[in-house]
Amino acid sequence: MDDPINEDPGAVFTNLVELASEEFGGKVLEVSDDFFAEKENLLKPGRGVFKPGKFTDRGKWMDGWESRRRRTPGYDWCVIRLGLPGKIKAFDIDTNHFLGNHPPYASVEGIWADQNKEQQIFSDNAGWQELLERSPLAPGSQNLFSISGDSAFTHLRLKIYPDGGVARFRAYGEVFANVDDKKQTDLIALENGGKAIACSDMFFSPMINLIKPGKAPNMGDGWESRRRRGPGNDWVILKAGVAGHIKSILVDTSHFKGNYPDQCSIDGCNAGGHTIDEMNQHEFDWEPVMEPQKLKPHEKHHFEREVIRHGPYSHFRLNIFPDGGVSRLRIYGDPAV
């Protein structure tokens, strides 16, 4: 069942991944109509902008997806390939700047399909599953909905009734990964089902950035804590997509030049099916995986001989001393079977 989100969306989306993000490879495949504004705008960063007085030969320029006024029965639709397949937990159907031309209602369906058989999803009997029933949308707003269910999807179909404009579409959830248990892999990678679940501080940038795919384009795409003015150190807890035996570690401080940590260390534990958060982390038996190591600015640090325990571990704690920023963390190992 789907429900409107009335609480702080930041709290709702904590630890969830924006599965449809362009950054992760999300793509709008097809729409019924995008006469006024192109379908590709739906997945762009931000909430969209409004430029008074800017027009095209088809009408007012709008930063979103906008279909023409429908004069026949039916609805408009948009099919999206998720950048990361996963279980959907929430939607944001953002009608920012669409005021007299927003759709009054929308619904969302999902399907699992292999990419090499993608064309089959456009057939009449493809097997789409309703995730969000037809629901009212407010103009110029982030329309947030929580979603229940444990099925994983690779594609979504947004339907708007009967027509109109949507600035941005976001699908938040948990990554579904099928890790090869015979192949060494990055155990905590976002695309392998890894999660950033708790940290001491993420004032400047979120902890999930640590395990995102690829290289960080700038300092804002890493994890950075505020300047520590008292004793102690900062830390982040990461859950592996699959528990594994550690082989090597990469700590990347790229872009962090005057604000990198002086040192870092890594601990591990095997929590089984139990959850670990900030409040109960000390209830688990953490073991040192890597003792404190000196770090350099704007540098990729490769550690292999420094790994003193190999697990298997299901959770890891990166400790930085005393504070600062790390671009990416990779923990390579063999999945435990």
Domain end among 120, 153, 175: 175
Same domain for 165 and 212?
no
Count CA atoms closer than 13 A to 224's CA, side-chain side: 20
Please say if the pLDDT value at position 337 is more than 80: no
Q: 204 lies in a domain?
A: yes
Same domain for 47 and 83?
yes
Q: 33 lies in a domain?
A: yes
Its domain, for residue 39, covers: 2-175
Taking only the tens place, the pLDDT of each residue in 263-318 is 999 999 999 778 888 778 888 999 999 999 999 999 999 999 999 999 999 999 99
Same domain for 92 and 214?
no
Domain end among 175, 207, 231: 175
Q: Which of 47, 161, 53 shows the shortest CA–CA distance to 104?
A: 161
Tell me the percentage of the chain whose pLDDT exceeds 70.
95
Neighbouring residues of 318: CB distance < 8 A, sequence distance ≥ 6: 210, 235, 236, 238, 251, 264, 265, 266, 326, 329
Partners of residue 326 on adjacent β-strands = 223
Q: 180 lies in a domain?
A: no
Q: Which DSSP letter does residue 112 get?
A: -
pLDDT band (50, 70, 90) for residue 8? very low
- Mean pLDDT for 58-72 is 94
Same domain for 293 and 195?
yes
Q: 114 lies in a domain?
A: yes
- What pTM did the predictor assign? 0.87
Same domain for 84 and 197?
no
What is the reported pLDDT for 1?
Answer: 42
Domain end among 175, 197, 219: 175
Same domain for 8 and 154?
yes
Same domain for 216 and 303?
yes
- Mean pLDDT for 72-99 is 96
**Alpha-carbon distances, residue 267 vs 149, 281, 291, 314 (angstroms):** 33, 12, 8, 11
Please say if the pLDDT value at position 10 is more than 70: no
Tally of structural domains, the chain: 2
Give the chain's mean pLDDT.
93
What is the reported pLDDT for 275?
Answer: 82
328 vs 283: which has the higher pLDDT: 328
Question: How far is 141 from 139, CA to CA, in rounded Å?
Answer: 5
Taking only the tens place, the pLDDT of each residue in 303-316 is 999 999 999 999 99
Q: Are 84 and 152 in contact (CB under 8 A)?
A: no
Q: Are 328 and 224 in contact (CB under 8 A)?
A: no
Same domain for 98 and 191?
no
What CATH number does residue 303 fall under? 2.60.120.260
- Mean pLDDT for 97-119 is 93
Same domain for 116 and 195?
no
Same domain for 249 and 311?
yes
Same domain for 98 and 201?
no
Q: 110 lies in a domain?
A: yes
Same domain for 160 and 125?
yes
